[in-house]
Amino acid sequence: MARCPALFLSAPSSGEGKTTFTAALARYFRQQGKVVRVFKTGPDYLDPQILAQASGQDVEQLDLWMAGEAYCRQKLYEAACEADLILVEGAMGMFDGDPSSADLAARFNIPVAVLMDVKGMAQTAAALATGMANYRDDVQVAGLIANNCSTARHAELIRDALPASVPLLAVLAKDPEVKLPERHLGLVQAAEVRDELELRFNNGARWVAEGALGPNPITELPQPVEFHPTELPPVPKLLPGKRVAIARDAAFSFIYDANLHLLEQLGASYEFFSPLHDSELPQADALWLPGGYPELHAEALAANVAIKQQIRDFHAAGKPILAECGGLLYSLEDLTDLNDQCHPMLGIIRGHGAMRGKRGCQGMQTAMLPEGEVQAHAHHRSRSADTPEPIGHGRRQRHSAPGEAIYRVGGLTATYLHLFFASNPEAVAAMLSEPVACGEALTPESKVS
């Protein structure tokens, strides 16, 4: 057993400022010399990048459906053994989803601070916070953080309306100097705005300190929580000596740290390369094209003819390739970007990709692969057309309709789904070594330059 102060940051809904505040709080305690381990609830690639830079530590996902209770329990225990503070950022609203952020907080007895954008309300904010605190007996609410609180009088109205059991922990003024940059799928990737983020994190630490209220200010470490270890089944060394080349740059960056750790546990090594800038693939036995923003860099991807040919040759040799979401778009014949410009892509699978504005698809699904079932999720605002017949579909978490299509062409497995490798290491290892042969082969005439 390990004891460590811990706090769960949740909210009534998305868009209340959870990531901005969590990053600011992590940076505040880091400035005090504390080791802060941050976790993100649910499938997310962008928030963990932000939170990792703010805290100076790796950020992994905690999700009872995607990873399982034992996995989450062990990750929290390992963090508690090394950290001075554990922060967990929730997803969506506190009670949304199955399992929800409240389920995760209750399962591990982590107190919840409710962050709420209180613009345009006062006593109603207190009523909402009180209702959230009393909605479930197994969830401990530590208090309310009032975001976008305009004046001292505004804060006083909220504080006076709260019961003693739900203290006001902080009052945060609107401050454009702490707001995180965004784009169509969420926050801008940390690597693109690293220097700007440093300024915003440091401003955020000041913002938190100025807004903290007694007698239980958010700037004091919360009470320790007990975290217990669990025995996870050992990961078999199914990829000993195998090398995996992983695309990672501004166009491809949706990579779980947990997936990289799983590859190492399987006995594999990996090397990153850039489809935007490199002319040669690393020496590798398998290739992973993860999700990202190829639509923002389609012209540059199309222009890098050398790396495209290297990947086509890799595919023609029958070697395994995993292409997820943005990687799927890159694998198609062409991609129409947000400006309606069409650019030639790899052409290792038939079909055409195109962006579609604000419409999209998201949700938890199980990837039904020939090698086994792997937990996954979808989140995209693009579509593909004229693709081959899929070998299967994702199974939606709570809906009977078929989920995202899964394609296999030679050694290529392509889908909009983002896989969580640790949910089935054996299936992932098989797919990255000798995937089950199925699907149609491409003719030389079908490939594009």
* Cα 92 to Cα 16: distance, rounded to the nearest angstrom: 9
pLDDT of residue 437: 74
* Nearest CA among 360, 382, 10, 19 for reference residue 181: 19
* Nearest CA among 311, 248, 245, 304 for reference residue 279: 304
Residue 99: asked if its preceding bond is cis (omega within 30°), the reply is: yes
pLDDT of residue 214: 79
pLDDT of residue 436: 80
User: Domain map of the chain by residue range?
Assistant: 2-227, 243-446
Q: Determine the residue type at 347.
A: G
What is the CB neighbour count within 10 angstroms for residue 228?
12
Q: Give the rounded distance of the alpha carbon of 107 from its chain centre.
A: 21
Going by C-beta distance under 8 Å and a sequence separation of 6 or more, which residues neighbour residue 64? 72, 99, 103, 104, 107
* Nearest CA among 179, 196, 12 for reference residue 92: 12
Going by C-beta distance under 8 Å and a sequence separation of 6 or more, which residues neighbour residue 385? 351, 352, 354
pLDDT of residue 398: 81
* Cα 48 to Cα 55: distance, rounded to the nearest angstrom: 10
Sheet with 342-344, edge to edge strand ranges: 342-344, 334-336, 352-355, 382-385
Which of the listed CATH numbers 3.30.540.10, 3.40.50.880, 3.40.50.300, 3.40.50.80 matches domain 243-446? Answer: 3.40.50.880
Handedness of CA 49, 54, 55, 61 (dihedral sign): negative
> What pTM did the predictor assign?
0.91
* Cα 417 to Cα 326: distance, rounded to the nearest angstrom: 10
First-last CA distance in the chain: 58
* Nearest CA among 107, 132, 87, 117 for reference residue 14: 117
Going by C-beta distance under 8 Å and a sequence separation of 6 or more, which residues neighbour residue 317? none
pLDDT of residue 338: 87
**Ramachandran angles phi, psi of 84, nearest 5°:** -90, -20
Q: Are strands 2-10 and 112-117 parallel, antiparallel or unpaired?
A: parallel
pLDDT of residue 447: 39
The SS3 assignment for 293 reads coil
Q: Which residues pair with 187 in a beta bridge?
A: 182
Active site residues: 325
> Mean pLDDT by 10-residue block, N- to C-terminus, for the chain (449 residues)?
98 95 97 98 88 95 94 97 98 95 98 97 98 98 95 96 96 88 57 81 95 90 96 94 97 94 98 97 98 94 98 98 97 94 97 78 89 93 92 89 93 97 97 80 39
* 8 A C-beta contact, residue 187 and residue 46: yes
Q: Where are the alpha helices (DSSP H) in 56-183?
A: 69-80, 101-107, 123-134, 152-161
Based on the number of CB atoms within 10 Å of its own CB, is 131 exposed (0-12), middle (13-18) or buried (19 or more)? exposed
Which of the listed CATH numbers 1.10.3720.10, 3.40.350.10, 3.20.20.30, 3.40.50.300 matches domain 2-227? Answer: 3.40.50.300
Going by C-beta distance under 8 Å and a sequence separation of 6 or more, which residues neighbour residue 439? 388, 389, 391, 407, 408, 409, 410
* 8 A C-beta contact, residue 133 and residue 164: no
Q: Determine the residue type at 147.
A: N
Q: Are strands 85-89 and 36-41 parallel, antiparallel or unpaired?
A: parallel
Going by C-beta distance under 8 Å and a sequence separation of 6 or more, which residues neighbour residue 257? 48, 58, 59, 60
pLDDT of residue 148: 95
* Cα 168 to Cα 425: distance, rounded to the nearest angstrom: 45
Question: 2-227 and 243-446: same fold?
Answer: yes
**Within 13 Å, how many C-alpha atoms sit on residue 449's CB side?**
0
* 8 A C-beta contact, residue 332 and residue 384: yes
